[in-house]
Structure 1
Amino acid sequence: MMKRFKLGLAAALSLLLVLLAGCQAVGGVDVSKAALGTLDVKSSMSKQTLSLQLVPAEGNLKEEDRKAIEMFNSFSVTIDQAIMQDTNNASIEGTVQLKGKKLPFHLSMDKKALTLSVAGMTQPVSVPLELENLDLGLMGPNMTNESLIQTYKDVFGFLLKHTPNPSSISVTPVTDKVNGESLSLQKLHIDIRGDELVGLAKGFLTSLSKDKEGVKQLISSLYDTYYPIFEAYAGAPEEATATPDAAEKEKNINDAVDELMGMLDELLPDYDKNVDELLGETPELSEILGKNTVLSLDFLLDSKLNIRKQNMDLTVQLPASEDLPIKQVKVHSESETWKVNEPVTIHTVDTSKGIWDVNPIEATPGEVLRHLDRQSDLYLLLKDDMNITRKSFTMYTDEDPSVLYDAGYEPVIVNNIMMVPVKYVADQLDAQLLWDQATKQMTLTDDLTGSKVVLKIGSKQASIDGVSETLTQPVQNIDGYAYVPMRFITKALGAQGYWDAKEQIVTIERN
């Protein structure tokens, strides 16, 4: 787990540095101004493609790893048209391709909701976006879209100011087509290797350490907005989160600046030594931050420094490991933009057939499939290729050594019949369970088929869709929970149950 954490952290830091690299003027082009200018785009139309490739490691692959790599490598996204009408209204139309199946999609967003339709869905999904329904995270209580953008510009502008250029960066004039129109553009080309990132980071920190006044100005500009949030996260009572007076504010800002500058003064003298030690202790990090990790970028800029076309190739080299079946991750993307800051109108998703009023992330497999056309590629992809209906879980007749179970989770043997807790099995298989206190009856509704199973405490008689069945043991109350024979409940809910007498474990599976 720690090894994976280090790898993930290293990759995240590398990508962060990549985003900040290459920001000083080159060939008369103010790269920093061009980067910040993207935040001034209020409206536009664009299109984009994105593809992924996992390069297998040397040697024989496990069958499950081979299938997983093939699935990822079949993935691509094509955005035929993305429209940004303003900061609140946007739409995207395109296609996701996976495992040879093409899934056209249409997404639109306004102030109230984000609505998504994918070919094969009988109704689109809508997610509310009203402010009262959102966790605003780092947005302050009085933050608007405009002030948020200005905050981004302040922060990114400051970071870009101190970020050095990579060794390979150039600007050349070109003529290229954007949405079929031939334009005179400036091509900004950047190559960044993994073994440059440590040096770029040092250059950034060194520049930062020499700009105490700039650091203070940045912290001051963010202070009023974020002070209440920092205090709230620190556990201060709500009435104590008001912005402090001028003297206290000045002291807090100066303390923050002094602490940051002190950290830099402590870090930089031994930076190279500490980096060498880190890379020596974690050779896998050296592999990721090596010459084979490369980001190649082309930005084609118009006379107003708007990015009209962009090409990106990213290769991340991974360390050799028995647990890692891939040696490289490659990402390729192309995009072009037109009608920059011109009037455009979004295309809204058709909701004339109603809306699927559910969070698709929380929906059960059966509910998802019931909202899909059975003949559609989306249905076949989710059911046959991604196996969203597959379930597998285990239960221990004695206490699970890895989990402290409460009552109602453990199977028991009664008269040589394996009995399992109804509620726990129903929850694991997404079956709906209703209890009738008056009749002492339980009704389970199968998630996939909709079949109804009726059971009664103390009775051997049960029914499946009205057809009576006799149980090998009556439904029993054990420690306040209803138990039923395993073979009956698994069959009724389309699953199979297995008993491992040696390990004393019950396994229930559904394909």
Structure 2
Amino acid sequence: MFKQKRRTMLLSSLLVLVLLVLAGCQPVGGLDVNKVLTNSFSVKSAESNQTITLELTPDNTGLSPQAQKMFDLFGKMKLTVTDAKTEDRFHASMKGTLEYAKGQIPFQLAMDDQQLTLQIEGAKKPLVLRTGAAALGSAEMPSPLSKALQEEIDKLSKRMVESAPSLASFVTRSFPNPNAISVENVSEKIHGESVNLQKLHAEVRGSELIDLVKGFLTNVLADEKGLKEFIGGLYDVYSPFLLAMAKEAGELENDPMTDMIMPYLQNKTLAVEFVFTFLKTQLEQALSKYDASVAAYFATEEGAATKAWLGGQYVKVDLYVDRDGMTRKSVTELMITAPEGKADGLKSVKVTSSAEMWNINKPVKADKVDTSAGVIELNGTTGRITPSKIVASLEPNSQLYKLLKNDLQITKKEITMLMNDNGNDYGFFGTKPYNDNGTVMVPVRFVVERLDADVEWDAATNLVKVTDPLKGTVITLTIGSTTATVNGTPQTLEKAAVLVDGTTYIPVRFVTENMGAEVKWNQETQTVSITRD
């Protein structure tokens, strides 16, 4: 079953790949398809809108209650982007809604070369996700990379974006045309304006994949100049970063592997020739055995099932192209079916998309998300972000809160601990809970962090502070004292917190029940169980 799923994912990925680069080599009806596809990577600024619909069909072979719940919630979803603006390749914004069975969730997103900022309806503050080098460290855990390497990561991201048009051109022109492809002249409304366009229609069936892949490999092998330029383009993108890494590794470890690869990183001609020779040899060997290998596989029982399954997969696409070779509108339909009884209740996945674009490569200003009231950091500068912290950042009556907390139950926790002398260390530095005359004492960080709360330790005062974002509870305990506070109110502990070999132990029931969790003790198995919704 695992092999079948892996093969399904691989072939599905190939089908999507063919969609992205279909019709590369030959012009169709006077339309230079390669230019059209390459132009999609050369868009530097534009405005657009898009609607994407996802439909999941169950196979009704006895779904589990949990699986049925997921199908009921997400069997049909729609993402509507009403206003997308690309200012340049590193600054963009969009507004839209995500619709599922129980309602809609509006959102606004803004992106630059350092971070992605997302405002979702119901969130108390915008969410910020750091990107590039900014995402590598936090105040508690700084990045292990040097400043020079962090700078190279940012440069690498920019080089990848800037090189995309030239690299994509080689890939798109190497793909053969699918069997079903045509061009006709049409008039369409784009953002309310009637525009004369050429409509490129293409369909790719799963049964065509074998021949299309062979054609692609054949064309790549035949285009020696193009392949070398493609390898050279990749070298220009990645070699500065790899060279910086190799130099730093060599300085720190005197690594023989670094000495071996350094000449290639310092000599583009040498590197390109080496990679080209290797790829050419591999392609020649693969193509020489391609037909025989495919025939042999399809002759097996598994291969015959795969061949039959491929016939049910397809992708259809309509591209509406203006006289400059720019795609102004697109309509896509992708169907992936699962082998019968091999996808845990999933029969098929259908994705449809429609989009239109205007103001291409004209001055466009991306919108900003208002962060004047502060943000919630998802990475980069603050401590860990947990499901409970995300839910706590939402208004309890919001649609997103209800989805995450009630429907998906992302804050639900179940912890089981066994009291013994030689067993589990629970992954926490070799410490384990113990029973002190009927009171279960647990390592504070182990339990509290698994309940998505934070722990602070003040060595000067021997004070432990537990902050639970979900309930808003703040608990303080002092080593050796049976008095604690819950939100500032003093309470008496059954046992005092203690310090054992540098690890703070606390009475599990007091802390977890004040965080809204339920604690159960099984005398027969000597097991303590903690659950929280």
TM-score by length of 2: 0.83
Task: State how 1:447-466 maps to structure 2 within 5 Å.
Answer: 447-466=469-488
Q: Are residues 64 and 497 of structure 1, via their aligned partners in 2, closer, same or farther at CA, if it must alter by over 3 Å?
A: same
Task: State how 1:131-170 maps to structure 2 within 5 Å.
Answer: 133=134, 148=160, 151-170=163-182
Task: State how 1:103-182 maps to structure 2 within 5 Å.
Answer: 103-110=105-112, 113-127=115-129, 133=134, 148=160, 151-182=163-194
Q: Distance in 2 between matches of 1:315 and 1:361?
A: 41
Residue identity matched to 2:166: D
Q: Are residues 473 and 85 of structure 1, via their aligned partners in 2, closer, same or farther at CA, if it must alter by over 3 Å?
A: closer
Residue identity matched to 2:44: K
Q: Which residue of 1 aligns with 2:277?
A: 258
- 1:237 paired residue among 243, 250, 275: 250
Q: Which residue of 2 aligns with 1:274?
A: 293
Q: Are residues 302 and 319 of structure 1, via their aligned partners in 2, closer, same or farther at CA, if it must alter by over 3 Å?
A: same
Q: Distance in 2 between matches of 1:141 and 1:483?
A: 43
1:425 is displaced (CA, Å) by 0.9
Q: Which residue of 2 aligns with 1:101?
A: 103
Residue 359 (structure 2) pairs with residue 346 (structure 1): no
1:324 is displaced (CA, Å) by 1.2
1:319 is displaced (CA, Å) by 2.0
Residue identity matched to 2:118: L
1:494 is displaced (CA, Å) by 0.9
Q: Are residues 138 and 327 of structure 1, via their aligned partners in 2, closer, same or farther at CA, if it must alter by over 3 Å?
A: farther
1:261 is displaced (CA, Å) by 1.0
Q: Distance in 2 between matches of 1:310 and 1:215?
A: 30
**Kept after mapping to 2: 8 A contact 1:396/1:505:** yes
Q: Are residues 229 and 93 of structure 1, via their aligned partners in 2, closer, same or farther at CA, if it must alter by over 3 Å?
A: same
> Please, which moves more after superposition, 493-502 or 31-40?
493-502
Cα offsets for 1:135-174 (capped at 9, x unmatched): 79998886695x6556322222112222111111111222
SS of the equivalent of 1:67 reads: helix
Q: Distance in 2 between matches of 1:287 and 1:418?
A: 59
Q: Distance in 2 between matches of 1:120 and 1:93?
A: 15
> Please, which moves more after superposition, 107-116 or 491-500?
107-116
> Please, which moves more after superposition, 364-373 or 447-456?
364-373
Task: State how 1:268-417 maps to structure 2 within 5 Å.
Answer: 268-278=287-297, 280=300, 286=306, 290-321=310-341, 324-357=344-377, 359=379, 362-398=384-420, 406-408=429-431, 410-417=432-439
> Please, which moves more after superposition, 109-118 or 441-450?
109-118
Residue identity matched to 1:380: K
**Kept after mapping to 1: 8 A contact 2:133/2:153:** no
Residue identity matched to 2:191: N
1:51 is displaced (CA, Å) by 1.4
1:5 is displaced (CA, Å) by 4.3
Unaligned runs of 5+ in 1: none
1:109 is displaced (CA, Å) by 3.1
SS of the equivalent of 1:75 reads: strand
1:448 is displaced (CA, Å) by 1.9
Residue 222 (structure 2) pairs with residue 205 (structure 1): no
Q: Distance in 2 between matches of 1:142 and 1:486?
A: 49
TM-score by length of 1: 0.87
Q: Distance in 2 between matches of 1:175 and 1:400?
A: 73
Q: Distance in 1 between matches of 2:446 and 2:114?
A: 38
Residue 492 (structure 2) pairs with residue 491 (structure 1): no
**Kept after mapping to 1: 8 A contact 2:56/2:76:** no
Q: Distance in 1 between matches of 2:308 and 2:344?
A: 13
Q: Are residues 68 and 455 of structure 1, via their aligned partners in 2, closer, same or farther at CA, if it must alter by over 3 Å?
A: same
Q: Distance in 2 between matches of 1:281 and 1:254?
A: 42
Q: Which residue of 1 aligns with 2:143?
A: none
Unaligned runs of 5+ in 2: 137-148, 252-257
Residue identity matched to 1:425: V
Residue identity matched to 2:18: L
Residue 443 (structure 2) pairs with residue 421 (structure 1): yes
Cα offsets for 1:471-494 (capped at 9, x unmatched): 444434445433333332321221
**Kept after mapping to 1: 8 A contact 2:133/2:151:** no
1:224 is displaced (CA, Å) by 4.4
Residue identity matched to 2:283: L
1:185 is displaced (CA, Å) by 1.6
Cα offsets for 1:249-298 (capped at 9, x unmatched): 44443232221111111111211232345564755981796111111111
Q: Are residues 504 and 272 of structure 1, via their aligned partners in 2, closer, same or farther at CA, if it must alter by over 3 Å?
A: farther
Q: Distance in 2 between matches of 1:506 and 1:111?
A: 48
- 2:49 paired residue among 26, 47, 50: 47
SS of the equivalent of 1:331 reads: strand
Q: Distance in 1 between matches of 2:52 and 2:151?
A: 29
Q: Which residue of 2 aligns with 1:89?
A: 91
> Please, which moves more after superposition, 292-301 or 212-221?
212-221
1:46 is displaced (CA, Å) by 1.0
**Kept after mapping to 1: 8 A contact 2:109/2:369:** yes
SS of the equivalent of 1:383 reads: helix
Q: Which residue of 2 aligns with 1:35?
A: 37
Cα offsets for 1:375-395 (capped at 9, x unmatched): 332333333223233222222
Residue identity matched to 1:189: H
Residue identity matched to 2:16: L
> Please, which moves more after superposition, 481-490 or 267-276?
481-490
| CA RMSD after TM alignment | 3.5
Q: Distance in 2 between matches of 1:207 and 1:415?
A: 76
1:6 is displaced (CA, Å) by 4.5
1:218 is displaced (CA, Å) by 2.9
